[in-house]
Amino acid sequence: MRIGIITCRNMTDDMGCSSLMCLDESRAGKGEFARYAEYGGAQIAGIISCAGCPTVLAPEKILRRVRTLVASGVEAIHFGNCMEKLCPFKKKYESILRTEFPHIQFVHGTHEMGTDDQEEALLHFVGEGLRQQPVSMADLIIHLGKAGEDDPGR
């Protein structure tokens, strides 16, 4: 069965997630992909991240991304575990997507999460990773002591 996966942009853009676990378990027919055994397994037609923070005004932004999966002929779309665990907009997204694409099955989750301890450790790791401050021009300005140096009132 042809399926798609929608993931959290924080995980793909900031954490560099390549969807390894989703892909591995889809091939192995495990986790939330086990349901496709009677259809010959899951064939992933595409994986795409969300459109980023939609603000409270525009949760419909998600449609831009999911349209690509739907156009690729998928019959089901999974919300990645990342979206399931981390996204404050997921209920709104699901409501919008089910209304827009009533012929598509929407499924919660992808791969198995392991034990509660493993899940907690993973979420802790992701939280730490997302909070890290990358090197930026701010560091150069501070390093050179350039802030306001031409300001005569300084």
Residues 41-70 that bind ligand SF4 (CB under 6 A): 50, 52-54
Stretch that binds ligand SF4, among 3-11, 39-47, 68-76, 140-148 (CB under 6 A): 3-11
Helices (H) and strands (E) in the chain, counts: 7, 4
Closest of 66, 54, 72, 75 to residue 100, by C-alpha: 66
**How many residues bind ligand SF4, per CB under 6 A?**
11
| Identity of the residue, 3 or 50, whose beta carbon is nearer to ligand SF4 in the bound complex | 50
Under the binding rule (CB under 6 A), the answer on residue 87 touching ligand SF4 is: yes
| Identity of the residue, 37 or 130, whose beta carbon is nearer to ligand SF4 in the bound complex | 130
Under the binding rule (CB under 6 A), the answer on residue 10 touching ligand SF4 is: yes
Q: Which residues, at least 6 apart from 31, have a Cβ–Cβ distance to it below 8 Å?
A: 25, 109, 110, 111, 112
Among 5, 83, 97, 104, binds ligand SF4 (CB under 6 A): 83
Task: Please tell me the distance from the alpha carbon of residue 89 to that of residue 150, in angstroms, as a whole number.
Answer: 46
Under the binding rule (CB under 6 A), the answer on residue 9 touching ligand SF4 is: yes
Among 4, 45, 47, 89, binds ligand SF4 (CB under 6 A): 89
| Identity of the residue, 23 or 86, whose beta carbon is nearer to ligand SF4 in the bound complex | 86
- Is residue 105 within 8 A of residue 97, CB to CB? The reply is no
- Is residue 72 within 8 A of residue 35, CB to CB? The reply is no
Neighbours of 56 (CB within 10 A): 8
Instruction: Provide the binding-site residues for ligand SF4, judged by CB under 6 A.
Output: 8-10, 50, 52-54, 83, 86-87, 89
